[in-house]
Structure formats: C-alpha cells, structure tokens
Chains A and B, each alone.
Chain A
Amino acid sequence: MSAPLSRRGFMGGAASLSSIPLLSHAAQAEPDSRPQKTPDASDPAQYRPTFFNQEEYLFLCHACERIFPQDENGPGAQALGVPRFIDRQMNTPYGFGDLWYMKPPFQEGPPELGYQLPYSPRDLYRGAITPINTHCLMVHDALFAVLPPEQQDAVLRDMESNRLRFNDIPGATFFEQLRTNTLEGAFSDPAYGGNHGMEGWKMMGFPGARADFMDWINQDGAPYPFGPIGMPPRPDPYSPAFQNDEES
C-alpha cells in the first residue's frame, strides 16, 4: 500500500491552477537552481484539463476526493486520477450524451421514471459546478474547494438528499452523476486516466485483466494471491522492442 499522502500533497491535482487558493507546496515554490526531476507524465497532479476550466476542475478535484477519500484503505480520488478520468470522459460520445435518448419534449416526472433532463454529462457538469460554488460563496463565503472537509461533506449531503437545486438541475441528479463517474474513475482500467497505478484495484483485491480463474473456482475461502494486471498497451509493430521480441 502506498504511503498516506498529506492533505496538502493530494491537493496536487490543483497544482496548475495558479489563480486558485490552496495550491500544493510544489506549485508555489520558486524555481530554484537544483536539478529538476523530469515530471512523471502519468502523475495525475501533472494533468491539464481540456474540458473543465480551472475553477471547475478545482471543484471536481475536491468533490471527488470527499466522495472517495484518501484513508487507511488507500488513495483517494485525486491520487487515483479520477478528475483526469472525468475530464477525458467529457470528450467521448458518452460525455456528449450520445448514449442517451435525448429527443424532446423534456418533462419532469416521478423519480422511478428516470432521468428526464435535456442535458448531456458535459452540460450537467458545466451547469452545476458554478452554481454550487455560488451557493458556497453565499452561505460560507468561500468556494467549495477551500471549505473544510466537514462543510464540503455537508454541501454534498444536501445535494445527495436533493435539498439543493442548481437552476433546473436537481442536486441529487448532479450528485449521482458525480458519484457514478468518480467510482468509474477509481476502478476502470488505468488507460482511461483513473485508477492510477491500479491502486483502486489493489484496494479492492480485484486482479484486473487476468480473466482466468481455472484454478481458483473454489479454494475454500482463501484469498486470491495475485495482484492486478492492466490492459496491455497495444504494441507498435514497428517499434524496436516489438521487432526484437523484447516485450515484457
């Protein structure tokens, strides 16, 4: 299990958002003369969002972290790259709502009859995050991201129980979207941008893409002994490693 990060450390996802308070220590430091380590491109903290703006992404980093926090079980949403996952998902057909039936008219009904808003996932995030921050500014005089965790949880609880509404987006609708995408990001293949280092799978005891349990159908309650493997990246057949059969 990875060493627990400090609260400050795992705010690293916000490192690039220079106009936003609560920056990580590293991002605030002046350049110095010591040799810089090459930044790890796979580090979720290095990610620059392409769909979300800085304020939205900062919200996302903090809200996901409260839904799936760093604790004694292992890393939280930020260290797993969940905000990066969600940002990337916004540029897929799913993000644009192409997987949903989106023909009008749109009409509200009993909850059992399901989602009835004219909004894609992109629209839901774009439509809800700013009003949530406005709500936090009005009630707590601060953006969501800088509230203490207990107050962040209270805002999320008010969303989950539908006590808040953001224009025509019920709080519960947005909360379920956020929870669903957070958990997808924590547990989907790392190639999608979340589940960094397969730490989500390790926490669960899920062996990833092994998909072969011929000898483990019934071991009388013993734990499965092997750690996870990810989706093998597709090799470039013209790469020297492939040509020389050096793949591992």
Chain B
Amino acid sequence: MTDDTSRPARPDVLIIGGGWAGSIMAKELTEAGLNVTMLERGHDHSTAVEGTYPASIDELRGVARKRLFQKLSRTSLTIRNRPDQTALPYRQLAAFLPGEGVGGAGLHWSGCHFRATEDDLRLRSVTAERYGENFIPEDMHLQDYGVSYEELEPFFDKAEKVFGTSGEASSVRGQKTGKGNIFAPDRSDHFPLPPMADTFSASVFRAATTDTGYHPFSMPAANASQPYTNPYGCQMGPCNFCGYCSGYACYLYSKASPNVNILPALRRDRRFTLITEAQVLEIMLDDTRKKATGVRYVDLKTRSEKTLEADLVILSAFQLHNVHLMLVSGIGTPYNPVTRTGTIGRNFTYQTITSSRIWLPEDRFTNQFVGAGGAGVAIDDFNQPSFDRGKAGFIGGSPIWVNQSGLKPIAAAQSSGGKEAPRWGSTYKSAMIDQYRHSFAIDAHGSNMAYRDVYLDLDPTWTNAYGQPMLRMTFTWKDNDIRMNQHVVSHIGEIAQAMGATRTSLNSLQPGQSFDSRVYQTTHLNGGVIMGENPKTSALNRYLQSWDVPNLFVIGSSAFPQGMGYNPTGLVAALAYWSAHHIRRTYLRNPGPMVSA
C-alpha cells in the first residue's frame, strides 16, 4: 500500500467507501494491474486496535455508545412514513446502524452469510409464471435482477472462500449430501469450513422443527468453525462463541471482515492507496454528463476540499450513501413517485424482522451470552420456491431461525418488559432476570417488497455538516409484507410447543403499523440504485454499471430491486465479484456501456 502522500498523481480507479464492496473491487482491480485509490470517510480500523481484548468487548462503549457506527453528528438522513408527512431527522441511531471507518458495516456485522435463492433474483418472472401477472399488486415495483443464480454461482462460491464461511451444503454438483438446506440450489463446491456448532437453544429448535416436519439446517456463518487461510493468504482463528460479533470488531480474527479477510492482502500491494477521513461530496462529471471524471472530497484531517481524477469510478459506500451521492452528483434521474419516472431512489426496501420469544422450564439455562453472530439453525419452509404464495395470498417469504448471537446485559435489560409487562420496578427486574436466564429468541427474518410510494430523495430542509441536503427516506410497512410476516409467525407457536416452551411471546407486524425508527430492527437496507434490464426502471445494468455514466459502477445492496428473506452481505459480495469479473474481462478492453440501453 502507498500512503496518501506518495500515491500516484492519477490513479486508474477511484473507489468510494472501504467496506466489503469497496475492498472486493479494490482487490480485483489491483489484480488486473490497475492503480486503485480507495477513499473512506472514517478512520482506519484494524483488529490490533479496535479488536483488542478486552476493550473490544465493552458493551457500553461498543453498541450503547456506537463505537463503530456512523457518526450522526456529521451526517444523518430524514425519515417519514408517508409522502404527506414532513420527514424529520434520524437524530439518534436506533432502527439501523450504518458503519463508518475502514471495513464499514462489514466490520461490525454478525456474519450471517447467505446466497440468494434462484427465485430472489428473478422474483417478478417467477411470480408471474406461477401465479399470473394479476397476482402482483399494482403499486408493487416487483423486478428481476437481470442476473441468474447460475451466472452468480461462481461468485457466491468465491465470496464464501474469501470469507471462510462455515456451513453445510445440501447439493454439490448435483450430488445430494443428505444434510444442509434441502431447498438451497445446487453449488459448485462445499462450504470452505464445516458448520458452526449448535448452541443449546439452536439444538432445541433443530429437534423441534425436525419433529414437526420442517427442514432445519445450520445457518451459513462467516464465523470460522476452524482455523482457516483464505485464497488471499489472510488467516482466521476459530470462533469461541464469545458473543461479540454484531456491533463489535472480533478480537479472535474469527468473523470475516474486509479488515481481516481482504485488506491485509491489499495493504501489501503497491498499486493500492487508502485515503481515510476523506468524505466524498460529489462524483464529478464532464460536460456531456455521461462520463465521470473523478471525485470532490473533504480531507477531514486538514479540513480542506480536494479533487481526484480517474478513468473509472466505483461507488461502494453503504446503501444509503450510494443513493445520496448519486442524487447530489446529479447522475441519472431522481425517482418521482407521482409520475413513477426516474430511477435514483426508486425501489427502496428494508427487511421485515420480528423477534418472538420462548421460555423453557426454570431448570434449563439458555446462557444467552454464549453465541456467534452467524451461527444458528434455520428453516426455509416459508421462504423456499414451492411454498404456495397463491394460497397464502402474498409475495415473498421468511426464514425462521434461532440465531443466538450473544445477548449482553444492557441490551437484554433495555428490551425486557413492554406489551402488557412492566418496564421497570421490582416485577420487571424479576421477569427480566428470568428472561435472560431461561428464554431465547426465534426470528422471522423476511422479505420486503418495493412500492410506488416508498423511496429515497433529497430532503428540502436538513443538511449535513458539509452543507449538502441530507437523504430523505419515505418508508412504512405495507399490507403484503405485514400479511407475509403474520403468516410465518403464526407457525412459530406450534414449534414453541414442540420445544417444550413454558411460555411463548409471538411478535408480528400489525395491520396499519408504521415503521418505527426508534427501535432497532436490522441494518439491511436495500435499493435506490437498482440493477435490472430496463433503464426506465433500473439505474444500473446487470453488471452494476450506470446506464447514464458507463465509467461508474455502483456496488452494494443499493442494487437489490427488493429485500429478500436472507441477510444481504453474501449477495453484495457475489455481485461485487460478478461486476469485477466483467469489468476485467470486458470493460477494461473496451470501456463503454456493456449493455446497450
């Protein structure tokens, strides 16, 4: 790696954002012989500093005081549920937690590492084929990605090998293993590591779902079940279920992160330059508005504005920031929900996640502090292709899982009580302690469809620290997704009974319920700069290349046309490798649009 002062005057490639997507693109493009400069708005992060035990496992400093998350004091966004409301600033991090600094959200993620299903990638087509076009609500922007599972398979495989993913294959090159997720599509290879062990809670769920006729499988986890060296020569140590994945830097080099799995290799490469504390304000265009010339950014170390030029620009910040930077740079046409024209900000989606809870008898201790972010047991019976949505009357689906990731006491205490139960006082205290010792959570982690009046644009009032308008989110829960969630959660009751639950608290989305920005749900935000087959309804072609500015590629979950039931990182990584492959094979030889509009 060269530092900021010795870098080449003009890199070949500028990469905006140092998370998973940016690090994968930087690795691929330096391998292609290009000089790559990556700009990251936050500080550098490493296991040696942010991951040092025991400071790394301090719950107050970590999740409660947002050590690795986006610094809202500089920039946030505004949120409203409906277009007729005034959106108000997201002043305190709660519902979702974007990252900041090298590694991005990939440093503080859990490690749930799924592929997409075949259906996820062509959801409009399969829905119309199975249930007819009329089954798709008029206001739902259901779309295909423009890339198939078969095309992405080598890149899912590559990502798993880079991440050191632990899991259990069901079908490898047509051979059934008798294990794993029987609904998962075929794979070219096994997972690089065997599955993570079941926590006690996960083993109870596995037994009960087997007894009730479901098909449990070990969740694919980018938490190392064994020591591992990835194709880049980066090493991982075995996970000890310490419980500090989500929200923390792993002190054991066990959870995959850009910092552990890619950057050590990049830092050795003279073609790679990392500039931290560089807040990109704009992707600059030439007079034709069809070519990116570079970026304008604030050097936060010197508080001065700078520009950098390059032939190729990769926008790979967090989903929200990809959309924001497209809008403030004037690339493409902003989405208009009235005329349904324009693409930037269109198909913004989230994830329907509700957590139910079961209690076991008092002589059974669930030791909820034990855990690993990606480990657990799931069933895909309500997420798989042949689950009959026609009968159920909705589009989408949801895995159900017990993903005991390590529950710390501040979080456990804050979330106890509520509904009818007291949230403070002696009764609360007793119930909270009982809940911590003897219960565990079962999640319905489901899809979220795109709708006409759910979108992102620029806020007319509030600005960030650099004087730019902030992003405005218009989002709430919709009928289709609420009914999907309720249907799936309704099946948790029977599973709870089979687990010998002494008490069950089922939680589902309720009709008319508004999205509540005050309550943590998940950081799985999608869309706004989506990929697709038609420039009228997508911002990017199937190679994640901008239809409007062909030397700009926008990588991340911002490319997803809708939110799937699984966690997004596995698909983000596969799409990055897919895009990089085609940049290397096709674009670099003949720069220009890879798909004619």
B412 with A204: CB separation less than 8 A: yes
A-B contact pairs, 24 of them (CB 8 A): A99-B92, A103-B89, A105-B461, A109-B88, A110-B85, A110-B514, A112-B518, A183-B413, A188-B64, A204-B436, A205-B365, A205-B437, A211-B54, A211-B240, A211-B243, A213-B243, A216-B370, A217-B197, A217-B199, A217-B370, A221-B360, A221-B363, A222-B365, A224-B365
B425 with A153: CB separation less than 8 A: yes
Max chain B C-beta neighbours (<10 A), residue from A73, A100, A222: A100
| Interface residue ranges, B against A (CB under 8 Å) | 53-55, 57-60, 64-66, 71-73, 75-76, 79-81, 85-94, 197-200, 202-203, 240-244, 251, 360, 363-367, 369-370, 408-410, 412-414, 423-426, 429-430, 433, 436-437, 461-463, 514-518
In the bound complex, residues from chain B placing their C-beta under 8 Å from that of A160 are 423-424
B58 with A189: CB separation less than 8 A: yes
User: Nearest Cβ distance between residue B301 and chain A, in whole angstroms?
Assistant: 19
In Å, the complex CA distance between A194 and B283 comes to 48
Tell whether A200 is near chain B: CB-to-CB under 8 Å: yes
Tell which of B409, B429, B514 touches A68, judged by Cβ atoms closer than 8 Å. B429
In the bound complex, residues from chain A placing their C-beta under 8 Å from that of B59 are 187-189
In Å, the complex CA distance between A218 and B515 comes to 36
| Interface residue ranges, A against B (CB under 8 Å) | 66-69, 71-73, 92, 94, 98-103, 105, 107, 109-116, 153, 156, 160, 179-180, 182-184, 186-189, 192, 200-201, 203-207, 209, 211-214, 216-224, 231-232
A99 with B426: CB separation less than 8 A: no
Interface of B is mostly: loop
User: Nearest Cβ distance between residue B108 and chain A, in whole angstroms?
Assistant: 15
Max chain B C-beta neighbours (<10 A), residue from A112, A187, A216: A112
In the bound complex, residues from chain A placing their C-beta under 8 Å from that of B91 are 100-102, 114-116
User: Nearest Cβ distance between residue B246 and chain A, in whole angstroms?
Assistant: 14
A113 with B517: CB separation less than 8 A: yes
A213 with B410: CB separation less than 8 A: no
A99 with B66: CB separation less than 8 A: yes
Instruction: List 9 extra interface pairs beyond A71-B430, A101-B92, A218-B202, CB under 8 A.
Output: A71-B429, A99-B66, A103-B463, A113-B88, A179-B423, A205-B437, A209-B54, A221-B364, A223-B365
In the bound complex, residues from chain A placing their C-beta under 8 Å from that of B517 are 112-114
B408 with A206: CB separation less than 8 A: yes
User: Nearest Cβ distance between residue B78 and chain A, in whole angstroms?
Assistant: 9
In Å, the complex CA distance between A211 and B200 comes to 17
Of chain A, the residue at the smallest CB distance from B81 is A112
User: Nearest Cβ distance between residue B61 and chain A, in whole angstroms?
Assistant: 9
B65 with A112: CB separation less than 8 A: no
B79 with A211: CB separation less than 8 A: no
Max chain A C-beta neighbours (<10 A), residue from B80, B425, B437, B515: B425
B60 with A184: CB separation less than 8 A: yes
Tell which of A98, A103, A105, A200 touches B409, judged by Cβ atoms closer than 8 Å. A200
In the bound complex, residues from chain A placing their C-beta under 8 Å from that of B202 are 218
User: Nearest Cβ distance between residue A138 and chain B, in whole angstroms?
Assistant: 24
Q: A114-B79, A218-B203, A224-B367 are in contact. Are A187 and B409 (CB under 8 A)?
A: yes
Of chain A, the residue at the smallest CB distance from B367 is A224
Q: Which 8 A-B pairs have the closest CB atoms?
A: A221-B364, A211-B242, A188-B60, A187-B409, A101-B76, A223-B365, A183-B413, A101-B72
Interface of A is mostly: loop
In Å, the complex CA distance between A92 and B53 comes to 22
Of chain B, the residue at the smallest CB distance from A205 is B437
In Å, the complex CA distance between A100 and B85 comes to 22
Of chain B, the residue at the smallest CB distance from A194 is B60
Max chain A C-beta neighbours (<10 A), residue from B54, B90, B436: B54
In the bound complex, residues from chain A placing their C-beta under 8 Å from that of B79 are 113-114
User: Nearest Cβ distance between residue B351 and chain A, in whole angstroms?
Assistant: 17
User: Nearest Cβ distance between residue A8 and chain B, in whole angstroms?
Assistant: 18
B57 with A211: CB separation less than 8 A: yes
In the bound complex, residues from chain A placing their C-beta under 8 Å from that of B203 are 218
Of chain B, the residue at the smallest CB distance from A221 is B364
User: Nearest Cβ distance between residue B63 and chain A, in whole angstroms?
Assistant: 11
In the bound complex, residues from chain A placing their C-beta under 8 Å from that of B436 are 204-206
User: Nearest Cβ distance between residue A22 and chain B, in whole angstroms?
Assistant: 20
B367 with A201: CB separation less than 8 A: no
In Å, the complex CA distance between A100 and B93 comes to 8
In the bound complex, residues from chain B placing their C-beta under 8 Å from that of A110 are 81, 85, 514
In the bound complex, residues from chain A placing their C-beta under 8 Å from that of B92 are 99-101, 114-115
User: Nearest Cβ distance between residue A201 and chain B, in whole angstroms?
Assistant: 6
In Å, the complex CA distance between A67 and B58 comes to 24
User: Nearest Cβ distance between residue A84 and chain B, in whole angstroms?
Assistant: 14
Of chain A, the residue at the smallest CB distance from B429 is A73
B85 with A214: CB separation less than 8 A: no
Of chain B, the residue at the smallest CB distance from A149 is B425
Q: A71-B429, A73-B433, A184-B64 are in contact. Are A231 and B55 (CB under 8 A)?
A: yes
User: Nearest Cβ distance between residue B324 and chain A, in whole angstroms?
Assistant: 14
In Å, the complex CA distance between A204 and B59 comes to 15
In Å, the complex CA distance between A223 and B363 comes to 8
In the bound complex, residues from chain A placing their C-beta under 8 Å from that of B81 are 110, 112-113
Tell which of A114, A204, A221 touches B94, judged by Cβ atoms closer than 8 Å. A114
Q: A73-B430, A109-B86 are in contact. Are A221 and B365 (CB under 8 A)?
A: yes
Tell which of A109, A179, A204 touches B424, judged by Cβ atoms closer than 8 Å. A179
In Å, the complex CA distance between A203 and B433 comes to 7
B80 with A113: CB separation less than 8 A: yes
In the bound complex, residues from chain A placing their C-beta under 8 Å from that of B363 are 221
B425 with A66: CB separation less than 8 A: yes
In the bound complex, residues from chain B placing their C-beta under 8 Å from that of A200 are 409
User: Nearest Cβ distance between residue A247 and chain B, in whole angstroms?
Assistant: 15
Of chain A, the residue at the smallest CB distance from B198 is A218
In the bound complex, residues from chain A placing their C-beta under 8 Å from that of B366 are 221
A98 with B57: CB separation less than 8 A: no
Tell which of B240, B243, B369, B408 touches A214, judged by Cβ atoms closer than 8 Å. B240
Q: A66-B425, A68-B424, A205-B437 are in contact. Are A212 and B409 (CB under 8 A)?
A: no
A217 with B88: CB separation less than 8 A: no
In Å, the complex CA distance between A68 and B429 comes to 7
A192 with B429: CB separation less than 8 A: no
In Å, the complex CA distance between A107 and B87 comes to 10
B86 with A187: CB separation less than 8 A: no
User: Nearest Cβ distance between residue A189 and chain B, in whole angstroms?
Assistant: 6
In Å, the complex CA distance between A207 and B85 comes to 46
In Å, the complex CA distance between A217 and B198 comes to 7
In Å, the complex CA distance between A184 and B423 comes to 14
Max chain A C-beta neighbours (<10 A), residue from B66, B86, B90, B409: B409
Tell which of A99, A100, A153, A221 touches B200, judged by Cβ atoms closer than 8 Å. A221
Q: A100-B92, A207-B369 are in contact. Are A66 and B60 (CB under 8 A)?
A: no
Q: A205-B437, A211-B53 are in contact. Are A69 and B429 (CB under 8 A)?
A: yes
Of chain A, the residue at the smallest CB distance from B239 is A214
A71 with B462: CB separation less than 8 A: no
In Å, the complex CA distance between A210 and B324 comes to 42
Tell which of A98, A187, A192, A218 touches B413, judged by Cβ atoms closer than 8 Å. A187
User: Nearest Cβ distance between residue A79 and chain B, in whole angstroms?
Assistant: 13
Q: A206-B369, A209-B54 are in contact. Are A218 and B199 (CB under 8 A)?
A: yes
B200 with A101: CB separation less than 8 A: no
In Å, the complex CA distance between A216 and B137 comes to 49
Tell which of B54, B94, B408 touches A232, judged by Cβ atoms closer than 8 Å. B54
In the bound complex, residues from chain A placing their C-beta under 8 Å from that of B198 are 217-218
In Å, the complex CA distance between A109 and B76 comes to 17
In Å, the complex CA distance between A160 and B87 comes to 25
In Å, the complex CA distance between A192 and B244 comes to 19
In the bound complex, residues from chain A placing their C-beta under 8 Å from that of B87 are 113
Of chain A, the residue at the smallest CB distance from B476 is A112
In Å, the complex CA distance between A224 and B243 comes to 14
